[in-house]
Amino acid sequence: MRRGKLDSLGVSAFCESMAMMVQSGIQMDEAVALLRSGSGQGGPLEEGLAIMQAETEAGKGLSAAMEATGLFPEYAIRMVLAGEKAGRLEDVLFQLARYYGDLKTMTAKLRNAVIYPVAMLGIIIIVLIVMLTTVLPAFTDVYDSLTGSLTSSSYAYVNGAYLLCRAALIVMVALAAALAIGYVLWNSKKRNIVENILHKIPFCAAILESLGMFRFTAALSTFLASGAIQDMAVAESRKMASCRPVEERIDRCVGRMGEGHGIAQAAYDEGLFEPVYGRMLLAGERSGSLESVLRKLTGLLADHCTELVDRLVGIVDPVLSGVLMAAVGLSLLSVMLPLIGMMNSIG
């Protein structure tokens, strides 16, 4: 039976538990057995731990056991393997726990930030459909029953209300369809199509670049914790960015490092990070605390990305609310104008 991958929170919890047991000096097969005995919840993780226990008892390393389960991301397996080879498995596991924990937190924040605008869009579509199918026809029937027929000017007002609602509905449905198609493409092999479109929108491009920098910095911190040399760590971490502008800046940094510069100096010269972050990295490299500075930068970049998303939502929400208010308000005003004319003529 095919098992799905663990989510980020599951990977983070597993890595942190294993790191603490490795730190305590527990043998790998015993550590996996303890995790399995403490799980007792069934499901994919329970099955995966059973496979890992068999693999570790057969003398295989943690990375090979993780790969055998099919539950873990390739990046996590590669990092554990690097940590095993360098004798820094404990550090790598703690770094992976922090990385996947931050990734889960950021993903949750991004999802929550998007839910409200999507819900607002759905409400607008429902309200406009109700206006077109119930409210406006009801006003038309009332006018017909009162006057026998509407005057040409009255018809112009009512027709204008229908036209406004239809136009707003078409725009909102088209926007909803575009979002649905984008969501499907984003979760398929054609994700680059959506990214290319978003990169042409300044504010969306800034969010994508911030996400790319977060992934790159978190990966670089983990690679360095595994004992990898800087050149290899930067090259491997580049693959995690998944953002073309960020990758291009990283490539320029790699070129500078080929001339003999360290990662901090190369990143500062090429503007990989914002100046304040670049100076932090320089200070960390010169003081021998590069890894701790990278961990700090990872948190700052996560906060920055969340702030950008909140700003975008702060722009989108009023726009959608304005569209709803304008469409409903103008439509109701249009159908009320004939009634005002009738009242004036009676008066």
Question: What are the DSSP calls for 245-287, one per residue?
Answer: HHHHHHHHHHHHHHTT--HHHHHHHTTSS-HHHHHHHHHHHHT
In a domain, 12, yes or no: yes
List the single range of 73-82, 112-121, 262-271, 280-289 with lowest mean pLDDT: 112-121
Residue 85 maps to a domain: no
Q: How confident is the model at residue 143 (pLDDT cuts 50, 70, 90)?
A: low
Written as six digits, the tokens of 84 are: 């095993």
Residues 204 and 158 occupy one common structural domain: yes
Mean pLDDT of the chain: 80
Q: Is the pLDDT of residue 314 over 70?
A: yes
* Residue 186 and residue 280 share a domain: yes
Domain that holds residue 241: 102-347
Buried b / exposed e over 330-342, threshold 16 CB at 10 Å, is ebeebbebbeeee
**What pLDDT, on the 0 to 100 scale, is given for residue 343?**
56
Q: Quick one: 222 and 260 in the same domain?
A: yes
CA distance 328 to 131: 8
Higher pLDDT, 263 or 320: 263
Contact indicator for 245, 209 with CB cutoff of 8 Å: yes
How far lies 242's CA from each of 192, 209, 239, 289, 326, in Å? 9, 9, 7, 27, 40
pLDDT(274) > 70: yes
Provide the number of structural domains found in the chain.
2
Kindly report, residue by residue over 147-163, the tens digit of the pLDDT: 555 555 556 667 777 78
Could you tell me if 50 and 186 lie in one domain? no
Residue 2 lies inside a defined structural domain of this protein: no
The Cα 106–Cα 308 span in angstroms is 12
Judge whether 166 lies within some domain: yes
What average pLDDT score do residues 262-285 get? 86
What pLDDT digit, counting tens, does each position of 65-108 carry? 888 888 888 888 888 888 888 788 888 888 888 888 877 877 77
- Choose the most confident range, by mean pLDDT, from 66-80, 104-118, 125-139, 307-321: 66-80
Residue 342: pLDDT above 70?
Answer: no
80 found inside a domain:
no
> What's the whole-number mean pLDDT along residues 253-260?
86
Asked if residue 97 is part of any domain, the answer here is no
- 42 with 179, same domain: the answer is no
Q: Give the torsion through C-alpha atoms of 256, 259, 264, 269, to 10 deg.
A: -50
The token pair that represents 71 in the structure block: 């539950």
Examine the domain organization and report whether 256 and 314 are in the same domain.
Answer: yes
Q: Is the pTM of this model over 0.75?
A: no
Average pLDDT rounded to a whole number, residues 160-185: 83
Structure tokens at 320: 């959608």
Does residue 82 fall inside a structural domain? no
Residue whose tokens read 């009255």: 154
**What percent of the chain stands above pLDDT 70?**
88
Domain shared by 17 and 123, yes or no? no
Same domain, 299 and 174: yes
Based on the fold, state whether residues 63 and 165 are members of the same structural domain: no
Q: Is residue 95 part of a domain?
A: no
Specify whether 151 is located in the same domain as 266: yes
Averaged pLDDT, 36-48 = 70
Cα separation, 217 vs 51, in Å, equals 32
Which of 72, 88, 122 terminates a domain? The answer is 72
CB count, 10 Å around CB of 81?
Answer: 19
- Do 220 and 340 lie in one domain? The reply is yes
Per 3-state DSSP, the chain is made up of helix, strand and coil in percentages (nearest 5) of: 85, 0, 15
Whether residue 59 is found in the same domain as residue 190: no
